[in-house]
Chain A
């Protein structure tokens, strides 16, 4: 069945959103007001106001992601939305944030063909060429109809205008952003996207863009600043960081501190941006907040909003809203049908029920009327007595089947992600691969610990009691940067593993890179590991499941919440064992080991 009761995990980018706006209204309105502040400044012709930060905290299932979907629905094309979710163990740097933001802005606005990025660029051009009141469709027509010289002129005028107001903005990056609406071929669009997102364009793309190299790491923050001030004139940038609990952990709080530094930088130097942060309340208070320095805390927690759980009348409004999405035959009469009045009363009276739990209770009642749940209500769930051995065995089997189904779903998602990257002519991003590696090392239960190298995101140390293995990710799309990276690997002592997707094999024309690999093998214990698509998919699936479990967002098909502990137990015994990372088991003889422990 797929219906209004099957959406306990809100799709942040969904087109349809059943919503009870009274729920979490104050947090929702607070963010809308921040966006309005930027828009009204632009309408007055004033400078964009300083960035504003809001922190929204709540338990799993309280509706944090739902709020993001609500803002999108309410603001439509009046704001530009980006959703950033940190990977496990990786630090969110300005480049990481830029990549996620540009990827999000590449999504279509509503049902139109236009992407958020196109709109930002089009409106920036309109702003600079005094066409502010022209409708978007006409604007597109006007822009597409321009000849090359006129396009160049429009971009130059826009650049001059913005640089005059905001000196020091990243003009090269902004120049490429303003060219986005003119890109007529997918090759051109891919090249622009690679550069704008801070990824490394390949040689062909660089030549097409008229550049010698991609965006430098230290330019990423300025690129974000440029994007925010350009977006502020028409559709302010709403930058939402979700699932921040994934930052927690680690003795040195590296990911938390890197994140807090980034938010402080955004707060201080990126005018016009609305930065919204969302996390589990307890995790924030117990693990993240204590790791923040006082100046960071005042910026990060600029406006702290705690999501309240629905009151009984709001619970009923939610059920009514969901029931309205059923077909008349499924509804079987007037409300409370298809439920009984007693069921609805009992759900609404259950203390501290989250919207997600409420939806799961409704779905279970719809699915299992024969079991008498309709008459028993939720109290029967809360007060179950000791289970019989048979019931326990059934529960174990249900649990196992639930994990199997989830694993299938996550593997399918991971394969889709790899296919998307492949279609765009690139491999998996190094930060994503790093996060997948961290998760896999942690799940391998080998006593090993993966540690990020602050100086280079592509470098990971896998520490164990008897030694350290260094893993270098070589996902580069550019021969020169791959060779440069390998030159640095050669300088590092100890065992080295160089990792690259097999589907993204090193071209034979990258002679310097290949020769440095040969030199590396000759000099010291090392291995060049080409990872198969399926192994990579397993690592990604495992990472995403762990990440969801940490956020309390992992539920099996029957709605049962799967905790990180449950997942850990399953990973150590069940089918995803092939995804275990055993790099440290074989590092003494790195030429002859199977890093992924394939079955």
Chain B
């Protein structure tokens, strides 16, 4: 005799919504077809479950139930670090590329993040990151166009004698370009974090000496020299890094010297070393 099939449930069992919510929050999103698999819900029962999940703060699309997109974006950017937009797709679950693009645009439009470009790739930066203002970008673009035009005039033309540019003129043009960027004063914690990140990038094994002017220049587009110097001295006092006096045979160029924090007798401290390195001697 054939077995009778159990009738579909028109209401979710007690506790099912809570269990599903926990699963969704753990994984970011779950496909609708897998949501209550094996629970034996009727269409009405599924509709009621979706209602309960919505009341618990989850978001439903045509294919998934997910943690709300805005929340996921908030979580992805919570570390205060730059987040690659390309990699965002692996962090944000249950959203199509187009939906994510629109969400990012809304997010940026609402002032909740900055969309910045580094080495040609888009990144989301937290809203308090030091970024260039529209007018600074405009001034830079104009300056860069003018510089490019000046360089075009030096291109070789047939048998004509080679042309070049006076160093003084170029220095002036570059100074003008640099002057169009206003240094901003970041929060001390931001400067310290950026410093640690830059040091780790420039001295991956920890044993290398890092040129302080080079380090400063890597950070200066977003952090003022004063703030970086203060962060360097803080890190030195805290024992995270060791600042070291200039010890190269080449004299430090005046522009580099001006960037360095000062030690005994006003001597520039032109090198930094991570002292958590395993080979560091004391």
Assuming the contacts A27-B281, A306-B280, asked whether A281 and B247 have C-beta atoms less than 8 A apart, the reply is yes
Interchain nearest-CB distance for A37 vs B (Å): 18
A183 interface residue per 8 A CB criterion: no
Docked CA distance A56–B281 (Å): 9
Q: State which residues 543-599 of A face B: CB under 8 Å.
A: 550, 552, 561, 563-565
B209 interface residue per 8 A CB criterion: yes
Q: State which residues 364-403 of A face B: CB under 8 Å.
A: 378, 381-384
Chain A residues with CB under 8 Å of B270's CB are 282
B189 interface residue per 8 A CB criterion: no
Assuming the contacts A281-B209, A352-B263, asked whether A309 and B244 have C-beta atoms less than 8 A apart, the reply is yes
B243-A351 in contact (CB<8A): yes
Assuming the contacts A308-B275, A352-B242, asked whether A564 and B249 have C-beta atoms less than 8 A apart, the reply is yes
Assuming the contacts A353-B264, A382-B264, asked whether A308 and B282 have C-beta atoms less than 8 A apart, the reply is yes
Docked CA distance A170–B167 (Å): 61
Docked CA distance A307–B209 (Å): 12
Classify the interface of chain A: helix, strand, loop or mixed.
mixed
B91 interface residue per 8 A CB criterion: no
A351-B269 in contact (CB<8A): yes
Q: Pick the contact of B209: A25, A27, A285, A357 (CB < 8 A).
A: A285
B38 interface residue per 8 A CB criterion: no
**How many chain B residues have a CB neighbour from A under 8 Å?**
33
Interchain nearest-CB distance for B249 vs A (Å): 5
B247-A282 in contact (CB<8A): yes
Assuming the contacts A24-B281, A27-B281, asked whether A552 and B247 have C-beta atoms less than 8 A apart, the reply is yes
Q: State which residues 233-280 of B face A: CB under 8 Å.
A: 233, 236-237, 239, 242-249, 251, 261-267, 269-271, 273, 275, 277, 279-280
B99 interface residue per 8 A CB criterion: no
Chain A residues with CB under 8 Å of B263's CB are 350-353, 357, 382
Interchain nearest-CB distance for A32 vs B (Å): 13
**How many chain A residues have a CB neighbour from B under 8 Å?**
45
A159 interface residue per 8 A CB criterion: no
A26-B209 in contact (CB<8A): no
Q: Pick the contact of B281: A286, A308, A378 (CB < 8 A).
A: A308
Chain B residues with CB under 8 Å of A24's CB are 281-282
Chain B residues with CB under 8 Å of A26's CB are 281-282
A501 interface residue per 8 A CB criterion: no
B281-A283 in contact (CB<8A): no
Docked CA distance A308–B281 (Å): 6
B207 interface residue per 8 A CB criterion: yes
Docked CA distance A352–B241 (Å): 11
Interchain nearest-CB distance for B33 vs A (Å): 57
A248 interface residue per 8 A CB criterion: yes
Q: State which residues 334-353 of A face B: CB under 8 Å.
A: 350-353
A280 interface residue per 8 A CB criterion: yes
B251-A563 in contact (CB<8A): yes
A60-B281 in contact (CB<8A): no
Binding site for A on B (CB under 8 A): 207-209, 233, 236-237, 239, 242-249, 251, 261-267, 269-271, 273, 275, 277, 279-282
Binding site for B on A (CB under 8 A): 24-27, 30, 56, 58-60, 245, 248-249, 280-283, 285-287, 304-309, 311, 350-354, 357-358, 361, 378, 381-384, 550, 552, 561, 563-565
A-B contact pairs, 6 of them (CB 8 A): A56-B281, A281-B244, A282-B271, A283-B248, A306-B277, A352-B243
Apart from the given pairs A281-B244, A306-B207, 19 other A-B contacts in the complex at a CB distance below 8 Å: A24-B282, A30-B281, A281-B209, A282-B209, A282-B246, A282-B247, A286-B248, A305-B281, A306-B277, A308-B242, A309-B244, A351-B243, A351-B261, A352-B245, A352-B264, A357-B267, A382-B266, A552-B247, A561-B267
Closest 4 CB pairs of A and B: A59-B247, A26-B281, A282-B248, A357-B264
